[in-house]
Amino acid sequence: METALLDLLCCPVTRQPLQMADREALAQASAAASRPIGAGLLREDGKVLYPISDGIPLLLEEEAIAL
């Protein structure tokens, strides 16, 4: 994802900045969601991950995966 776009995105609930999730966060999200998560945006506090599906970040509260 482009850095300029990522700089504009934030958590829809807390307004915290988001960053691309690393492998560890994706593994935790996959375990929590009981399905594979290939990409996602991690909230600044590291407690929530928003999955990315087909290149589109799913920035809806109901799509959030608690870590």
CATH number for the 3-66 domain, one of 2.20.25, 2.30.30, 3.40.50, 1.20.1440?
Answer: 2.20.25
Average pLDDT over residues 33-61: 96
What is the torsion angle, in degrees rounded to the nearest 10, for the CA atoms of residue 40, residue 57, residue 11 and residue 44?
30
pLDDT surpasses 90 at 64: yes
**What pLDDT does residue 1 have?**
67
Structure tokens of 33?
């969601």
Q: What is the 3-state secondary structure (H, E, C) of 28-65?
A: HHHHHHCCCCCCEEEECCCCEEEEEECCEECCCHHHCE
Q: Domain spans of the chain?
A: 3-66
Model pLDDT for residues 5-46, shown as the tens digit of each residue: 888 999 999 999 999 999 999 999 999 999 999 999 999 999
**CB-count exposure of residue 49 (10 Å: 0-12, 13-18, 19+):** buried
Query: Phi and psi (nearest 5°) for 4?
Result: -60, -40
